[in-house]
Amino acid sequence: MSLEKFFEPKSVAIIGTSRQPGKVGHEILKNIIDGGYKGKIFGVNPKTEEVEGIKCYKSLTEIGEVPDLAVIVIPAKFVISTLEECGKLGTKAVIVITAGFKEIGKAGAELEKELAKIARRYGIRVIGPNCLGIVAPGSKLNASFGGDLPDSGGIGYISQSGALLASILDMANTNHIGFSKLVSIGNKADVDELDVIESLDEDPETKVIAGYLESIGNGDAFVRAAERITHHKPIVLIKAGGTAAGAKAASSHTGSLAGGETAYEAVFARSGIIRCNSIKQQFDYAQAFACSPMPNGARVAVITNAGGPGIMTADAIERQGLTFAKPSKETIAKLAEQLPAAANLYNPIDILGDALADRYEFAIDTVLDDENVDAIVVLLTPQAMTQSLETAEALIKIAKKKNSKPIFACFLGAAKVSDALKLLRVNNIPQYDSPENAVDTLRVMNNYVRWKNRPKRVVKLFGVNRRKVETIIEKHLRQGIREVGEMEAKEILEAYGFKTPKGSIATTADQAANIAETLGYPVVLKIWSPDIIHKSDVGGVKVGLKSAAEVKDAFDLMMYRIPKKIPNAHILGVLVQEMCKGGKEVILGMNRDPQFGPLMMFGMGGTMVEVLKDVSFYLAPLTTDEARQMLKNTRTYRMLEGVRGEEGVDIDAIAEGLQRLSQLVTEFPQIKEMDINPYVVGRAGITPIAVDARMSVEEGSK
């Protein structure tokens, strides 16, 4: 069932209507009335006959017809029976405002499970419980206790926090921000963030989807849907609970576990979601997406009546990676005809402190026609002769006449520009309180346009030996062994096209020396035990051994010292392995997130990964471009390219290794974690080598 009955109901019943102002059941009814809702309104309260002029019934069934939407505002212990009554009557859309469910603990969680069970039984869609309600300005419906009905507009908003949504409503009404729909999803017993986002995607009134989330339920479905939606409609989200303290607070707030911060960053990067750090930043972005045309490029022109703000804007443009537009000769000549001789005709175009509204109008109109300009930032400082309100009127007139390029207003000041700012807001002209915020918004819009226009994702599949991998993993799962040993982990990698060093297990010093003689010096010795994951931490790795004597001494020392450090470790022997010469060490890794599946990792390898902590993450499966971007997202990428005359390594070979590992962990969900560290890569033409590998498996991984 769609969510249409929530947003466009022909009738609404408030179950728990209250006579007492200040009570939730009273405020919701009053908000519905005051908002101008034109449908039928039914009160349900067995103890009164009417509230605010609306007739009240003793029960839902006494109404005599089936309400499209029911809003439940009664104690939690009565919600289950009331929802069942809705189901029997045939009401298919229900908002449960009531708190006291899984956010309070085990007893509330059980009650919420029963609520969801009844909803499924009767085919009811439920928003909540523990929510603020919903608001649909286009239908004049304010089924919430969050304040006055806001203006209609192009922003659809979803919030996991009811209190935050109430604050947003107040801010919106003060600043004339328009919305298509606002939904408080609360505990998400039934309708969740994905349901609402997909509904807003289908809503022609909604131009941009914004929201505040603390957790995401169905990770796979969310990523797929978001990636599809962002190709034609931007999604601008605040994701809270990123710190340890925030995650704990989010969990206690809604009874849901907040996902890992790294995973969410990867999800947003993969699906094209724009992440915001504050409500103000979110509405800077959302208003631009809702009210402005998309820029065709990154070339920004600045029109100002003051030099200082113009310079600040120029700095911001360069810092944000945008381009300072170069006006054409024709534009400069046209500007020169009417602007004062002291005006700066080049970008930033300074029309001087005595500029009146007509000078602004001429400059904006002229620069908009320039094919070298993709967007304009209009700066105004309130000097003695400045016509703030008239300039705003001129800007609005031009924006309506020429609406193919973004025009952002940045009127600096307070009291002297307040009327102008209000007029700009009412007329849907994006306005910003600093040049930096305006330019930041243009950067985000340009990034989004590039996202929309990117090539279709194509994941390359390599020829592999899946049967070999199945055999090894099935054996471990059958025997209840979670950690896959290095030798078998390397067998798995070889089945997926990785090259690994030659080597064998030795159980005596003489055997180790014989293996070394066969391999050729120098060699590496590694302790071999399923109980020792980080071998170097216990002295279990010796490199650069150049003779039989060195090999024997290293073997004996390991077998003597390590059992003393880890008495309970089951030591099977020592791996004698050829030593890789030259190249740079990187790490390729994967951790399987419980919500979103395999999360790929890349960084500098060896012990440097823990020292530098310079790693990047992306969701599997990877395309070639995504694998390369993972490399570029690290600070040490330039070291791989080669610096100060040093030859670079084979970037494409590393990217291919990431793709092969991505294919492996995607095709085998039993793999929970995996590292190839170090992955030694040399110059172009030299095959990289997976020197060491660790892997863990388990049943039922995502």
> pLDDT by residue (tens digit) across 543-585?
999 999 999 999 999 999 999 999 988 898 999 999 887 788 9
Which DSSP state fits 688? P
Whole-number pLDDT of residue 467: 97
State the pairing for strand pair 375-380/407-411.
Answer: parallel
Confidence (pLDDT) at 251: 42
- Token readout for 504 is 């064998």
Q: Which helix (H) or strand (E) holds 13?
A: strand 11-15
CATH of span 4-289:
3.40.50.261
Please give the pLDDT value at position 257.
35
At 25-51, the pLDDT tens digits run 999 999 999 999 999 999 999 999 999
pLDDT computed for residue 337 by the predictor = 95
> For 591-607, what is the mean pLDDT?
88
Using one digit for the tens of pLDDT, what is the confidence trace for 51-72? 999 999 999 999 999 999 999 9
Predicted local confidence at residue 259, as pLDDT: 41
pLDDT tens readout for residues 202-259: 999 999 999 999 889 888 999 999 999 999 999 999 998 655 544 454 443 333 333 4
Contact between residue 649 and residue 683 where contact means Cβ atoms under 8 Å apart: yes
pLDDT at 438 over 90: yes
At residue 243, the pLDDT reads: 53
Architecture in CATH for domain 294-452: 3-Layer(aba) Sandwich (3.40)
Indicate if the pLDDT at residue 701 is higher than 60. no
Terminus-to-terminus CA distance in the chain, angstroms? 28
Same fold, 294-452 and 502-579: no
Long-range contacts of 579-583 (CB under 8 A, 24+ apart): 579/501, 579/522, 579/523, 579/524, 579/543, 579/544, 580/501, 580/680, 580/689, 580/691, 582/682, 583/649, 583/680, 583/681, 583/682, 583/686, 583/688, 583/689
Per mean pLDDT, which range of 16-25, 106-115, 247-256 is the poorest?
A: 247-256
pLDDT of residue 580: 83
pLDDT digit string, tens, across residues 479-522:
998 989 888 999 999 999 999 999 899 999 999 999 999 999 99
Q: pLDDT tens, 664-694? A: 999 999 999 999 988 999 988 889 999 989 8
pLDDT at 638: 86
Residue 673's pLDDT is 93
Query: Does residue 281 register a pLDDT over 90?
Result: yes
Residue 111 has a pLDDT of 96
Topology of the domain covering 455-500+582-702? D-amino Acid Aminotransferase; Chain A, domain 1 (3.30.470)
Residue ranges of domains in the chain: 4-289, 294-452, 455-500+582-702, 502-579
Check if CATH label 3.65.10.10 holds for domain 502-579: no
Percent of the chain surpassing pLDDT 70: 95
Please tell me the predicted confidence (pLDDT) of residue 246: 46
In 3D space, the residue among 446, 500, 113 whose CA is nearest the CA of residue 300 turns out to be 446
Give me the chain's average pLDDT, please: 92
Write the pLDDT tens digit of every residue in 347-377: 999 999 999 999 999 999 999 999 999 999 9
Q: How far apart are CA 657 and CA 661, in angstroms?
A: 6
Identify the residue with better confidence: 685 or 148: 148
Residue closest to 384 by CA, chosen among 355, 362, 410:
355
